[in-house]
Structure 1
């Protein structure tokens, strides 16, 4: 959604009819790394006979989940869908409908239900356009079947009842399960969790940089655990600028134990005050595979 666009154009009355034509240029930032450019056009015209405008088209089509032609055959437009093995604990369940649903008809535990292993599972939900986003209170677990069920009490804005949720199977439920999570397998050599992404910065430990390198805007190079990679000359890591109102974010490769991530103990954010390091006060929010730190005061 691009909000608050300013358009430039004309508004003319011709034969008693208002015609408006306008354009605008948009430059959205894409994924924080690139700028996109585009021209949007807008046209609006009034009915010439204002006293006898055409009646609004009457919607008689029930909402449904569209069927897509995917790589593995016909698939419903929902997540995780046929790729539950790519879902991670903490991710929401998203069901895309062909039109907007009536919010008042969606009642958790009545017209919309979620079960985990056959038992009711508490959850929250919200509508984002025509997408229904379901977030279980507890992150989705591995090796357990989850089932989303709806009733025809859910309607669109015109009161048309919801069709079968799964039009391919002809029922009102969608089910999925994450693959079994294997632990303590003597034949499986696992590595510990690591930072998959870090903002700002880079998901690796860096070598000790000299003061001259820091003054030059670099923080050393990535330290590799691979001896062959360590022999290869690598690029220096720049010190990344961070907007004053932006949070620190880290995403991990595995689910983390929240009891082991303690602000000021195992997770430190510090600043240099006259040659000594001082803790930065702020809020630490933990997700199954991520953490977000927001300082109480803007970064200096």
Structure 2
């Protein structure tokens, strides 16, 4: 535990971090020689001494294992034991009177599960144990630039435009606003290139000039020369330090080389960048798309509610291959004079998605009003996981199962922000949006449905009709526990002993407060400037990056009668931060944040952030569960939204900074589609999104 904040530093540790012990007095450097040992114990209970470097730096003892600290694999758990021998002295020559013999382990990486299938009557059927979803490593953040593959046709060096992200919205005639063009930013002469990854990378795959290329170029993009320098390789990041400073006003580019194939994991590590598991770097998280005229064939949807466009992922390019690579990622920048401003690399910590597969590897927990595990699981969507239904069975879409070990979920602390929220103001029956709701843990976001079902379609429903192929309500994390007839629409059944016949039935949502979360991973680069406002706030420039989130389940409700309740995993989502506008509607500046004082007088960081939301796999998942003719359509491609963020700034004993960012506004997401007709409203409630970033160790 950290003595200043009370936070669990082991949970926040990541592969490659040093171990730092803080004493109450400066240490005699010579006295620590031969006094430090580190052992690693694996599944065989064999303690193996670790080769380490260590030194005293003032009152801190810094230990750097030559084989970096790693997360503990589920199938071969590893722990560490750190010991200090007696004889350590302070600068006055006085002996340290304490002792230190501690065992610790980094969080587990989940490797096994037993996925659930569902029988025709809705019962869970556990499969035999298998590996959890594998995923190639991807880029969490980089500087300078933006962590996406750029469309080369939109590059304009002379106008300082690096281009538009591939998979973003390009100019079109169908009413969908095109994405921003990324600016080319300056890199001060005294700063390196930095890239951060989602998984431990294979250090032997980094070769300057082959898999990692840095070039000095002309304004026309012609190569003047390769830039000589050194690669500083860490488990989850790499730094490039040029031998000579970047030249002011000159253009440069750097290239991260992958296998050129989104659809394949075939690669030659060394010529390409790879993870320790041998998978290629996945450079492109957004799907390549085609924008078409909207599908206007659904007579139930009035014209003013129709999407004027239809966005279709280019499936032949293999956008949904989890272990694929991708095109080379190229970023551009301009040399600038050195700066005294401090650049902080901030990493989300602790994280839940420890194995980096963009899935929350936990069994779902849900119940009915009686406290029993209860959920209707029959019909469309569920039948795709019925092994006795061979024509529709899609085992790859499994979204729930049994785990011996699980990734961490939310803390069981009641959430006062959602206690009074119901769906009554959004055509619903007045059900609580978040019954027994709990607060988000660090680096998670709560997603709620603001309508489970339509209560009064005659008076309020904006579509021309409603039927079981029109998705009007939803529940996040779990489905519905039962169906109840609406008394005012019911008639006696002509057959004695049978229940009444009702024209409308309402679906009662199951209760699953711990399943309404998506888990967040991100790396940001923040520049703390010397600019101070009149109230003492310090200006901070945040260079836009992205937040990548795990998949969450939504069960959509079809119509107002029957049991059409389709489970639809969202797939991972990418939230891309947007640059700040200049006076001419060009987004070219970093996000302006400030460190000021909270009402309690403690430091806090505040920022307003515009974003694009993309759900690249949602199209595929709708198609897999519903089999829509001609393919589905939806609007969660470059969906525009904004967050107002504020959070505390704290400092650990070892000098690292923790910056929290919690949304102060309710954020609404309106999921719409023409085919199938979709009218689903989701919200992140106030303080429902909780990002916690930590800076890099000071003593490395």
Q: What's 1:176 paired with? A: 104
Secondary structure of residue in 2 paired with 1:268: strand
Q: Normalising by the residue count of structure 2, what TM-score does the alignment of the two structures yield?
A: 0.28
Alpha carbons of structure 1 residues 204 and 164: separation in structure 2 relative to 1, 3 Å: same
- Look up the match of 2:202: 257
For 1:98, which of 24, 34, 42 is the aligned residue?
24
Which residue of 145, 165, 188 corresponds with 1:201?
A: 145
1:154 has 2:88 as partner: yes
Partner deviation per Cα, 1:199-224 (whole Å, 9 max, x = no partner):
2112222233545x432222123335
1:188–1:152 distance in 2 versus 1, CA, 3 Å: same
1:129 aligns with 2:58: yes
Per the alignment, in what secondary structure is the counterpart of residue 217 of structure 2? strand
**1:235 corresponds to which of 162, 180, 186:** 180
1:2-21 Cα deviation digits (max 9, x unpaired)? xxxxxxxxxxxxxxxxxxxx
Structure 1: distance between partners of 2:193 and 2:184: 14
**Cα distance change, pair 249–103 in 1 and its aligned pair in 2 (3 A):** same
Contact 2:32 2:56 in 1 (8 A): no
Superposed CA offset, 1:45-100 (max 9, x none): xxxxxxxxxxxxxxxxxxxx9955726xxxxxxxxxx4423321110001111111
* Higher relative contact order (Cα pairs below 8 Å, separated by 6+ residues): 2
2:443 corresponding residue in structure 1:
none
Partners of 2:92 and 2:178 in 1: CA distance: 64
Residues 125-163 of structure 1 deviation map (CA, whole Å, 9 limit, x = unaligned): 122321111101110133221111112311222233223
Distance 1:248 1:69 in 2: 32
CA RMSD of aligned residues (A): 2.9
- Judging changes above 3 Å, is the alpha-carbon distance between structure 1 residues 95 and 224 closer, same or farther for their aligned structure 2 residues? farther
Q: Name the CA distance, whole Å, in 2 between partners of 1:252 and 1:194.
A: 6
C-alpha distance in 1, partners of 2:108/2:2?
29
The count of aligned residue pairs is 213
Q: Is the 8 A contact 2:52 2:66 kept in 1?
A: yes
Deviations 1:160-180 (A, max 9, x none): 322334xxxxxx212211133
CA distance in 2, matches of 1:69, 1:295: 38
3-state secondary structure, aligned to 1:95: strand
Distance 2:79 2:95 in 1: 27
* Residues 221 and 236 in structure 1, CA contact (< 8 A), matched pair in contact too: yes
Aligned positions of 1:29-40 closer than 5 A: none
Stretch deviating more after TM superposition (288-297 or 202-211):
202-211
Indicate the residue corresponding to 1:280 in structure 2.
227
Alignment partners' CA distance in 2, 1:132 and 1:233: 53
Residue pair 2:189, 2:245 contacting (<8 A) in 1 also: yes
Q: Deviation at 1:255?
A: 0.6
Deviates more, 1:265-274 or 1:112-121: 265-274
Q: 8 Å contact 2:154–2:164 — kept in the other structure? A: no
Secondary structure of the corresponding residue to residue 249 of structure 1: strand
- 8 Å contact 1:149–1:173 — kept in the other structure? yes
Secondary structure at the counterpart of residue 30 of structure 2: helix
Given the superposition, is the C-alpha separation of residues 264 and 180 from structure 1 closer, same or farther in structure 2, using an over 3 Å criterion?
Answer: same
Match 1:114 to one of 38, 41, 53: 38
Partner residue of 1:220?
Answer: 163
CA distance in structure 2 between the partners assigned to 1:87 and 1:262 by the alignment: 27
Residues 89 and 141 in structure 1, CA contact (< 8 A), matched pair in contact too: yes
- Gaps spanning 5+ residues in structure 1: where? 1-64, 72-81, 166-171
Alignment of 1:15-34 (within 5 A): none
- Secondary structure at the residue paired with 1:115? strand
Give the whole-Å Cα distance in 1 for the aligned partners of 2:83 and 2:14. Answer: 21
- 1:267 Cα deviation from its structure 2 partner: 1.5
Find the residue that maps to 1:85 and give its secondary structure. helix
C-alpha distance 116-187 of structure 1, shift in aligned 2 (>3 A): closer
User: Does the Cα contact within 8 Å between 1:252 and 1:290 map onto a contact in 2?
Assistant: yes
